[in-house]
Structure 1
Amino acid sequence: MAAPPSAPDRPPRRLRRARPVETDFFLKGKTKEEIAARAAGAPAGRLGRPEDIADAIELLVSRKAQWISGQTLRANGGMA
């Protein structure tokens, strides 16, 4: 993903593999036991929340990330 033309001073960054996130899409068709097992299997001990992903995106588009270049951020709570 390249930086938009309006931001030529911003190096490209990418957010990939945001999972598992507690959304309707993820929860659909899963039992409470399946959901609990996925949460327990995560190093963070819980499912991700949409705001966790929003925080990662907010970091990448902020000036605080100006020295991050050509990296892929995996917002996955430590799951491989």
Structure 2
Amino acid sequence: MNELVNRMGWTLEQRARIKQIFLLLTIAAVFGIGVSIALLVMGDSGGWLLLGIAIACWTATYLTLKYTRKSQP
């Protein structure tokens, strides 16, 4: 029974890796938002597409991690 309890949930290494991946994605999203704002200031309408992609990717990852964490015991 004790072995089963030890296998439940995320390990410390898994949690650290998830935090690392989320930090890298957040940095990439901030960079993408900055580039998209620069494109919009220069008058390029492609900045809206880049802005949407950056926000959508970050939001999808955030929600996936949030609901996956809630489903873990």
Higher relative contact order (CA 8 A, sep 6+): 1
Q: Considering fraction of residues, name the structure with more strand.
A: 1
Q: TM-score, normalised by structure 1?
A: 0.35
- Structure number with larger C-alpha Rg: 2
